[in-house]
Every structure is written in structure tokens, then in C-alpha cells.
Chains A and B, each alone.
Chain A
Amino acid sequence: MTSNTRITSISVTLLVLALAAPLVAGQPFYINIGSQVLIAAIFAMSLNILVGYGGMTSIGHAAYLGTSAYVVALLTLQHGFGFYAASAVALGVVVVMAAIFGAIALRGTGITFLMITLALGQTMWGVAFRWSDVTGGDNGLPDIKRPDLFGLNLVEPGLFYAVMIALFVIALVGMWIFTQSGLGLSLQGTRDQPRRMGMLGHHVWLVRWIAFIIAGFWAGVAGIAFIGYHGYIHPLSLGLANSAEVLLMVIAGGAGTLLGPVVGAAIVVVLKMVVSAYVSRWVLLLGCTFVAIVILLPEGVVPGLERLLKALLPETRDDGEASS
């Protein structure tokens, strides 16, 4: 067994244990934390496509989660849509939005790209905040009901968590397939060697644009889960702080790794929960954590752990170097 496959099996075991933990704890409080972590994890994985695999740092990703949630809320509350029909429309809206915003943002690269995504994200916040006739402005949109699924009432925390696990596993497997696919590999190529990829005949812009749309789509999925869980949406959910929070998840966990965003999501959600129980200074802590992670742990938790595990688990054909 090579150390890589052993690391994979250890990761899978840990992941299964972590997913089961809230159910073992049993209380709705822990199960709800589990649901929140999984929603955040799907959201963070979607951003990881851009930040990790594409090398495109977006600080406007909350716009996709928020827009999707707003569309579901508006259609169910004001236009008599069912939750699932509204979700389908929301995904369509988010994909179109990502296609347009992606085309604009990809006019720039690097820091310019980052600035444009930030500005576009704040546009959506501005619309949600100012267009109060439709979006409810600062009051947000409350009372979106959790739907039934196959006749089961998802208001029950355990059932909702089970659905979130299913959704999360689909997202995770989908992400794994994406990273192994031709598209995913050429995306990583455009991250590392954009010129060379261009020379090799890859359409760098197109690859990035498609990745942008896929990232927007999955953020939209997270948005549907988000509105299903909270039943409430506020302009803050589209705002800069939320975009920064999800970016922190990706970077803290490890950008460009499959499980990094998941670990990052768990850390940030639990941290936020614990801190908010004692003090109301989450934003200050978010800012300081951001600075600390970037300076002290720039590669993230998961790559750090991976290196540690590799050092602890020398390969069977030990060449003496693996253990050093």
C-alpha cells in the first residue's frame, strides 16, 4: 500500500466519522451544526474550483449563493412556486448570472479579476439592499418553508441533515470527477502555466469561463440548501463579509485540495458558533483569523496535515528519505 492510498483511506474514514458524529451526539443542536457545516462545505468547494484549481481569487462568491436563495425565496413567497420548481429556476438564474459576470471578470486576471469580482458581488448586495419593494431591503425575506422530500417532512433536523449528507457526497464526488476530468486538468494547467496551455492549443479563457460557471452553479446549489435550512435571507448573505468568510474557509483548509474547503468550512462554522456564543465580535475575529492564516499558514490545514501524515507513514518500499 503506498502512503497515498493509505492517506486516502484515512481521510475517508475520518470523513465518515465526522459525518456520523452529529448523529451520535443526537441532540438537534449538534445535528444543525452538522447541516450548517455541510452547506458551508458545498459553498466552499464551489469557490475552490476558482481559487484552488483555477488560481482565480474571487471575493464576490456570496453573490451566487445569495442570488439563488433570493430567487427561491421570491418565487415561493410571492409567485406560488413550489420549493423544487423555484430551486430549478434559481439554478438557471445563477448559471446565467455566472456566465455574464464571468465574461466581465475574466477581462482581468490576478488582482484585477479579484477587484472586479468584489465590485460585482457588492452590486448584488446593493440590489438586494436597495430594491426593497421586491427584496424586502434590510428586513430580508423571512418564512420560507422547508419542503417535503418523498413525503418526509424535512423540518425534522435529522432528516434534513441526512439530505445534506446526500447533497454533500454528490458535490464531493462531482468535485473529484471534475478534478480528474480533462476540463479540470486543463483548468489546473491554466493556473500553473497559462501561456504554455495557450501554446498547446487550449482555449485558456474558455476553460476559465466554464470553470467560473460551474463554480457559480454549485454556489447556487449551496444557496438552495442555505434557504432550505434557514428559511430566511438577508442582504448580508450576499455581502463582502460572507464572500470573505467562504474564501477564508478555502484558504484555511487548503486551496486546491479536495477536502481542504470541507475542513475549512468545519473550522470556520464551529469557530463562529463558539465565538458568537460568548462575544458579538465575530467580524473582528474573522479579520484577525484571515491575517493570521495568510501569514502563518498560507497553504492551509489539509496540505499541512498531509505532509505530516506522509512523514509518519513511510512507504513500504522505504527508501530512507520518506521518513526524514
Chain B
Amino acid sequence: MSIGFWLLQSLNALALGGLLFLLSSGFSLIFGLMRVANLSHGAYFMLGAYVGLSVLQAGFGFIEAIFAAGIVIAVLGGLIERFLLRRLANRTLAQVLVTLGLAFAIADICLMLWSGDPMQLPAPRWLSQPIRAFGFVFPGYRVFVVEVSIVVAVLLWLLIERTKLGAMVRASVDDIQMARGVGIPAQKLFSFIFCLGAALAGMGGVLGGPILSVYPGLDGEMLPLALVVVILGGIGSIGGAFVGAYITGFVYTFGQTLLPAFSYVILFLPMIVILAFRPSGLFGKSAP
């Protein structure tokens, strides 16, 4: 195994980390704010990839596909939040179980509409030019994914840390009753964050399509990864999701290369260490 191999695997790990960040940042925000572990998040990711595929097949460009998927999944998420989750307000477990049921329904509808064959989303040519650096050749598309995830991370960070909206979100994460008490419109905030998180997952699906391809069962593979990221990084923390996503990306990629049969088991080692020593996650605040 040459240095080139390790560099390439590292880039793969970074790209997977980027995708996981898009998936789990939304999950983490929703969980932090609403205390709902949205178990259909993996299904959003998969459905986003399928929607993106259809948009591409209809002759549109890759960027259009990303945004179309984001919008479709955001609308779907908004409907679910408005008509199902809101009816079950303050019943966290029921909400989680509803999202679990929906995950199955969405996955089966995807199977019905897009058949069971694995399909690869073609990466646009202008993004997949190989990049030469330090005497090695890197697949350009993966570099693009890493860049996108960093841009999104910075934007999310700015949104949460530097805007009034973000301040309201942070206040609600810390103490929802106090936040309501001082007049923060928590319900609207829930809807917004839920749509935002759903959109990020859907866009992540399209972005991941050329790397992971899309197939039935993708949802069930991505969801545990998102859970691991959030448990690692700490609930409701963008920074935690970022660090957790890249750790998970590296552990999973190298696990898959070196010990393919046990890549899932290896994935859980960092989670177990974190749970043993810091149950609230790397960046999480200890439970109230």
C-alpha cells in the first residue's frame, strides 16, 4: 500500500465525512431543538438522491438536481412536521416512532417508484476533472464534496451563532420553556429547523449519489451513521456534528478498506469510548 493509496483513502474519508455532516447536522439541530430523533432522516437522504436522479434524467444540471431535491424534501419534512409531529407535541417517544414508521413508508415508496436496482448518479463533467497535486491525482468530485460540506458548515455556524434566528434556536435548545416565556415563537422555529434539516439531508443525498450511488437500503445504512455522528459530537451542536462526521468518515472508510467484514463494528469503537467517558458527546452539554 503506497502513500498514494493512503492519500486517496483519506480523501474518500473526507468526502464521506462531508456527506455525513450534511446528513447529521440537520438531524442534530432537530434533535437539539425538538428532542425528536428523526428516524426518517436516512430515508430523506435516500429520497433526495432519487429525486435528484430523476431531475438529472429529465435533462437538468447537477446544481438544479441538488436544489430540487432540497426543496422537495424540505416540503415533505414541513408537511410531516405540521400534520403529524405537531399533533403529538410533548410526546417525544410517539414522535420518534412516527418518524420510524414514516421511514419505512418512504423507503417502500422509493422501491415502488425507482425499482430495486442500484443506480449511480452521474457526477457532472465540470466537477469530476481529476486534480493533480503533490505528484498524485485525486478525483475532483470528492474534493468538491468536501468543499461543499465546509461551506455549508460555515453558513450553518454563521446562522446559528451570528444571527437573531440562531440566537433564538440556541436559547430554545438550552431551555425551551424559558425561551417560550420570553416570546420566542418556538413552533415556527421547529417548523423552520425541521425543513432546514430535511433539506440538508435531501441535498446530501444528491451530493452523495455519484459516490455512494442510490439503492434500496441506503437509508438503513446512513441512519446509523448519522446516529453515531450525533452521539459522538453531542446533540444539537453544529461543531460537534462537524467533528463527529469527519471522525466517523475516517473510521468507516479505513475500516471498510482494512477490515471490510467488520467495518460496522469498528465504527462503534469511538462511540463506545465517548459514551464511556463523556456520555453527552464531545461538544454536548450535559443533560439537563
A33 within 8 A of B: no
Residues of chain A contacted by B93 (CB below 8 angstroms)? 57, 110-111, 114
Contact B105 A288 (CB under 8 A): yes
Query: Roughly how many angstroms separate A211 CA and B111 CA in the complex, as a whole number?
Result: 38
A322 to B264, CA, bound (A): 55
Please give, as numbers and ranges, the residues of chain A lying within 8 Å of B39 by CB-CB distance: 59, 118
How distant is the Cα of A284 from the Cα of B101 in the complex, in angstroms?
9
Is A295 at the interface (CB under 8 A from chain B)?
yes
The reply to whether B231 and A119 form a contact with Cβ atoms under 8 Å apart is: yes
Whether a CB of chain A sits under 8 angstroms from the CB of B131 is no
* Contact B98 A119, beta carbon cutoff 8 Å: no
Chain A positions within 8 Å of B31 at CB level: 111
Q: Are A130 and B97 in contact (CB under 8 A)?
A: no
CB <8 Å contact, B102 and A111: no
Residues of A near B260 (CB, < 8 A) are 130
Q: Is A239 an interface residue (CB 8 A)?
A: yes
Known A-B contacts A110-B92, A126-B263; the reply to A284 vs B108 at CB < 8 A is yes
B residues in contact with A294, CB < 8 Å: 88, 94, 97-98, 101
CB pair B92 A290 closer than 8 Å: no
Chain A residue with minimal CB distance to B109? A284
Interface residues on B, range: 35 or more
Which residues of A (83-98) have their CB < 8 Å from a CB of B?
none
- Tell me which of B101, B107, B223, B275 contacts A118 (CB under 8 A): B223
Which residues 252-288 in B have Cβ within 8 Å of A in the complex? 260-265, 267-268, 271-272, 275-276, 279
The answer to whether B220 and A120 have CB atoms under 8 Å apart is: no
Distance in angstroms between the alpha carbons of A107 and B268 in the assembled complex: 14
Interface pair B104/A241, CB less than 8 Å apart: yes
Are B265 and A123 touching (Cβ within 8 A)? yes
Q: B135 to nearest A CB, angstroms?
A: 34
In the complex, whether A28 has a CB less than 8 A from a CB of chain B is no
Contact of A290 among B97, B106, B112, B263 (CB under 8 A): B97
A291 touches B101 (CB 8 A): yes
Q: Which residues of B contact A127 (CB under 8 A)?
A: 261-262, 264-265
How far is it, in angstroms, between the C-alpha of A127 and the C-alpha of B262 when the chains are bound?
6
Chain B contact residues: helix, strand, loop or mixed: helix
Q: Output the least CB separation between B274 and chain A (Å).
A: 9
- Are A290 and B101 in contact, CB atoms less than 8 angstroms apart? yes
Residue contact B275 to A108, C-beta cutoff 8 Å: yes
- Whether B220 lies near A239 (C-beta < 8 A) is yes
Contact of A287 among B84, B103, B230, B279 (CB under 8 A): B103
Q: Which chain B residues border A125 with CB–CB below 8 Å? A: 220, 264
> What are the residues of chain A within 8 A of B97 when measuring CB–CB?
57, 247, 251, 290, 294
Write out the residue numbers on chain B whose beta carbons fall within 8 Å of the beta carbon of A287: 101-108
Residue among A115, A133, A281 making CB contact with B37, cutoff 8 Å: A115
Please indicate the chain A residues that have their CB under 8 angstroms from the CB of B36 in the complex.
111
B104-125 toward A: CB 8 Å interface, digit per residue (1/0)? 1111110110000000000000
Q: Known: A241-B104, A295-B94. Contact between A115 and B230, CB under 8 A? A: yes
- Residues of chain B within 8 A (CB-CB) of A112 are 231, 235, 279
B228 at the interface (CB under 8 A from A): yes
Q: Are the C-beta atoms of B261 and A290 separated by less than 8 Å?
A: no
With A115-B227, A127-B262 as given contacts, are A291 and B267 in contact (CB-CB < 8 Å)?
A: no
In the bound complex, how far is the Cα of B88 from the Cα of A123, in angstroms?
Answer: 30
Chain B residues with CB under 8 Å of A119's CB are 224, 227-228, 231, 268, 271
State whether A114 and B37 are in contact (beta carbons under 8 Å apart), knowing that A294-B98, A295-B98 are contacts in the complex. yes
Chain B residues, Cβ within 8 Å of A281: 108, 112
Interface assignment of B132: CB less than 8 Å from any CB of chain A: no
B100 in the interface (beta carbon within 8 A) = yes
Report if A115-B92 is in contact (Cβ < 8 Å); known contacts: A291-B102, A294-B98.
Answer: no
Q: Which residues of B have CB within 8 Å of A57?
A: 93, 96-97
Known: A110-B93, A283-B108. 19 other contacts (CB 8 A): A57-B96, A59-B39, A111-B92, A111-B93, A112-B235, A112-B279, A114-B93, A115-B230, A119-B228, A122-B221, A123-B264, A131-B261, A239-B220, A241-B104, A284-B108, A286-B101, A288-B101, A291-B102, A294-B101
Enumerate 20 A-B pairs (CB-CB under 8 Å) in ascending A order.
A104-B275, A107-B275, A108-B275, A110-B92, A111-B31, A112-B279, A114-B96, A119-B224, A119-B231, A122-B220, A127-B261, A130-B262, A130-B264, A283-B111, A287-B102, A288-B101, A291-B98, A291-B101, A291-B105, A295-B88
Q: Please list the residues of chain B having a beta carbon within 8 angstroms of any beta carbon in chain A.
A: 31, 35-37, 39, 84, 87-88, 91-94, 96-98, 100-109, 111-112, 220-221, 223-224, 227-228, 230-231, 235, 260-265, 267-268, 271-272, 275-276, 279
5 A-B pairs with least C-beta separation: A290-B101, A126-B264, A287-B104, A287-B105, A284-B108
